[in-house]
Each structure stands twice: as C-alpha cells, then as structure tokens.
Amino acid sequence: MDDFHMLAEQCQQHAHRKTYYKYDSKECHYGLCELNVLLESIFDPATGFINFQKLDSMVNNFNKIILAALQCNMDISFIGSGFDANAILF
C-alpha cells in the first residue's frame, strides 16, 4: 500500500461514533452510509447538479495535494451556483 493511499484511509475514512447520530436514531448526522455507492458520475440537467462517482461511501471528498500537504481530514465540495454559492458570495 502506497503512502498516499494509507494517508487517505487514515484521514478521510468516516467512522460512525455515538456523537454522529441524529438524536436517538441510527441515521448518521453527516448522511453517510456504507450502502451509498455510485459506480459512475451522473449529471442532472434540470438542477445542474453533478453527483460524482463514489466507490467507497465512507471516504470524504478530498484534494490529493491538500491532503499530502496538511495530512488532515477535509471535505471538499464544488459550489458553482445556487443557494450555497450565494451564501458564500454574501
């Protein structure tokens, strides 16, 4: 196993702990589930949303360069337009 793969596994792998559940349910606060696997990327033309391929649903999105430099957990999301982009703009 190469160093980068080991670093991604240690820093980006999500684990369900008691504090990650909403209230007293078994629903993860972050919405992560082992079953949420997407074999290919999908584009929704109606909303403009891109859902990227995800082979391991328990690994957060990350940038290789930032991960190698900072060696810590991160969750990267593209924000191109919509409510989130407006919130960042203001």
Domain ranges of the chain: 3-89
51: enclosing H helix or E strand: strand 49-51
Residue-averaged pLDDT of the chain: 77
User: Is residue 54 predicted with pLDDT exceeding 70?
Assistant: yes
37/55 Cα distance (integer angstroms): 5
The predicted-structure confidence for 5-16, as pLDDT tens digits, reads as follows 788 778 787 776
49-51 vs 42-44, strand pairing mode: antiparallel
User: Is residue 48 predicted with pLDDT exceeding 70?
Assistant: yes
